[in-house]
Structure formats: structure tokens, C-alpha cells
């Protein structure tokens, strides 16, 4: 079984935020109004952490893209009372929107605050409604959602590979953020495939994962020369 993982090269990343926009479009993520956004209810599957370090005049700014880390040992699925979030055999942590009761326990348990909640019935601008992605189901109010590593793309890739009777090649399955990144800083692939770019990057001396000491074993690797 493949084990899908992501590597984000922070030395290449310019912090432009293209991945965030691509993700919203790809996954039909609702766009909340300004008032809601001010109340900390922005819905982003791909978030951008902005960290200011140091004091004036020596301020350093860090911009770090943050999707769901699809942990190998996810704290969120352990606490779900109804099996609405689970890890499938390919290592993707998935959500079942139609079963979620909206208790938000998974959000409270996630150390990476990767999940978002539909506080109201999701809404889109009229222009947006004409270009919804038909491959991604719409969510309803009162359920939790999060980055799926664009699992719908995996379905397509699998079907194509089965039709041609071949294995999925490296780089064939790639989520929207990785595809759109203008700096080519996001890599995606199979950790079990020792030839894959992601596997090599994950073993790079520059590679690290967030909060590794928690034992959640995230499948998103960051690469950076600096701390």
C-alpha cells in the first residue's frame, strides 16, 4: 500500500499564498464574510502560519504553509465518537461529512489546529458558484472539515492507472497546492516508494516535522536550512 506524504521546501517557499487560493478553489471551501473572518472563523484547508520573530528593528518574518499533516498516529481520530474521521489504509486521514455530529472534539484534540468547522451554512459568491469543483462534495453547516490531500484526485489517478493496467507513477497524484506552487516548493508522493522525490526529501538532513516529540508522526515534512 502506498503512503502518501508531502514535503514543503521552506527555503524555496516565497509565502505568496497561491497554495491557499488553489486549495479553496479546488475543494469548494466556503468563503466566510468579513465579519465572520474577524471572528476567527476563516475556513482554510491550507493555512499559512505567519510568525514574527525578534524585536524592532530586527524583525524576522516566517511564512509557513500548513495543511492537515495526515498523521500516522492521529490524535483526532482517537477521540471521534462516531467514526466520522478515520485513517484509511493509504494513510490519508479522511472525514465523513454525512456522519459527523459536530461535537468538535477532533478540533480540540488536534495539536496542529488543522481542522475547521462550518459555523453557518456554507456560502459562496455568485461568481464562485459557476466554477465549483464537481469532484468534491459540498459540506453542510455544523460539520468539521479539513485538508484531504485532494483525495478526489487520487481516485482519478487510480482509475486511469487501472485502465492502462499500470502502477501510479511518481508525481502523477499531486494535490492542488503542489500543482499550483509557482516556486515549486511543494512535493507530493509515496513514502513507500524508495525512488520517489518525497521519500528522498524526507530523508534529507534539512527535513523536519512539526512537534515530532508528540509522537503523532505527521506525513508533512518541512525542509529548511535554518531553524
Partner 1 sequence: MNEETKNTVDIDEALYRPIYETGKSFYFAVGFLLFIIGFTLVVYIRQVYYGLGVTGMNQPVTWGFYIVNFVFFVGISHAGTLISAILRLSKAEWRRPITRMAEVITAIVLAIGGLHPIIDLGRPDRVLNIFTAGRLQSPLLWDVTSITAYFTASTVYLYLPMIPDIAKLRDRGGKMVWFYEFLSWGWHGTEHQKKVLSRAINILMVMVIPIAISVHTVISYIFSMTLQPGWHSTIFGPYFVVGAIFSGIAALMIVMISFRKYFHLENYLKLVHFRHLGTLLLIMSLLWFYFTFSEYLTGVFGAEPHEMDVIFYKFTGTYAIFFWGMVVCNFLIPVVILAFKKFKTIPGILIASISVVIGMWLERLNIVIPSLANPRMGLDMGMYTPSFTEWTLFIGGLAVFVLGFLVFSKFFPIISIWEIEEGRKESVKEVEKRVTSYLPDPANSVE
- Residue 34: CB atoms within 10 A of its CB come to 7
Cβ distance to partner 1 smaller for residue 75 or 171 = 75
- Distance in Å, CB of 209 to partner 1, minimum: 12
- Distance in Å, CB of 45 to partner 1, minimum: 12
Cβ pair 46, 181 in contact under 8 A:
no
What is the Cα–Cα distance from 227 to 213, expressed in whole angstroms?
16
- Distance in Å, CB of 37 to partner 1, minimum: 10
What is the Cα–Cα distance from 3 to 196, expressed in whole angstroms?
11
User: For partner 1, which stretch binds (CB under 8 A), given 4-12, 136-144, 147-155, 173-181?
Assistant: 136-144
- Distance in Å, CB of 156 to partner 1, minimum: 28
* Residues 6+ positions from 206 with CB-CB distance below 8 Å: 11, 223, 224, 225
Please list every residue from 39 through 58 that binds partner 1, using CB under 8 A. Answer: 39-42, 47, 49-51
Is 137 in a helix, a strand, or coil?
Answer: coil
Cβ pair 221, 7 in contact under 8 A:
yes
Q: Phi and psi at residue 128, in whole multiples of 5°? A: -70, -35
Please list every residue from 73 through 112 that binds partner 1, using CB under 8 A. Answer: 75, 78-84, 99-105, 107-109, 111-112
Does 209 bind partner 1 (CB under 8 A)? Our answer is no
Nearest by Cα to 94 from 148, 174, 24: 148
Cβ distance to partner 1 smaller for residue 170 or 210 = 210
- Distance in Å, CB of 113 to partner 1, minimum: 4
Nearest by Cα to 48 from 28, 75, 74, 18: 18
- Distance in Å, CB of 171 to partner 1, minimum: 28
93-95 and 116-117: which strand pairing? unpaired
User: For partner 1, which stretch binds (CB under 8 A), given 36-44, 129-137, 173-181, 183-191?
Assistant: 36-44
Cβ distance to partner 1 smaller for residue 121 or 184 = 121
Residues that bind partner 1 in the complex, under the rule CB under 8 A: 36, 39-42, 47, 49-51, 66, 75, 78-84, 99-105, 107-109, 111-113, 116-121, 140-144, 210-211, 214, 216
Amino acid at each position: 500500500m502506498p503512503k502518501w506524504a508531502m514535503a514543503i521546501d521552506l527555503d524555496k517557499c516565497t509565502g505568496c499564498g497561491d497554495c491557499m487560493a488553489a486549495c479553496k478553489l479546488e475543494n469548494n471551501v466556503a468563503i466566510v464574510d468579513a465579519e465572520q473572518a474577524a471572528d476567527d472563523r476563516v475556513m482554510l484547508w491550507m493555512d499559512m502560519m505567519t510568525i514574527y520573530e525578534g524585536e524592532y528593528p530586527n524583525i524576522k518574518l516566517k511564512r509557513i504553509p500548513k495543511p492537515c499533516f495526515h498523521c500516522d498516529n492521529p490524535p483526532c481520530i482517537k477521540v471521534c465518537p462516531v467514526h466520522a474521521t478515520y485513517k484509511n489504509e493509504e494513510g490519508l486521514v479522511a472525514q465523513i461529512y454525512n456522519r459527523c455530529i459536530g461535537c468538535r472534539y477532533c478540533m480540540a484534540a488536534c495539536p496542529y489546529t488543522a481542522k475547521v468547522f462550518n459555523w453557518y451554512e456554507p456560502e459562496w459568491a455568485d461568481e464562485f458558484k459557476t466554477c465549483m469543483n464537481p469532484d468534491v462534495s459540498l459540506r453542510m453547516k455544523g460539520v468539521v472539515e479539513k485538508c484531504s490531500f485532494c483525495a478526489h484526485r487520487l481516485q482519478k489517478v487510480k482509475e486511469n492507472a487501472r485502465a492502462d493496467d499500470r502502477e501510479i507513477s511518481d508525481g502523477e497524484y499531486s494535490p492542488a497546492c503542489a500543482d499550483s506552487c509557482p516556486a515549486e516548493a511543494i512535493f507530493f508522493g509515496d513514502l513507500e516508494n524508495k525512488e520517489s522525490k518525497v521519500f528522498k526529501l524526507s530523508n534529507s538532513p534539512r527535513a523536519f516535522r512539526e512537534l515530532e516529540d508528540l509522537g503523532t508522526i505527521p506525513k508533512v515534512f518541512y525542509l529548511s536550512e535554518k531553524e
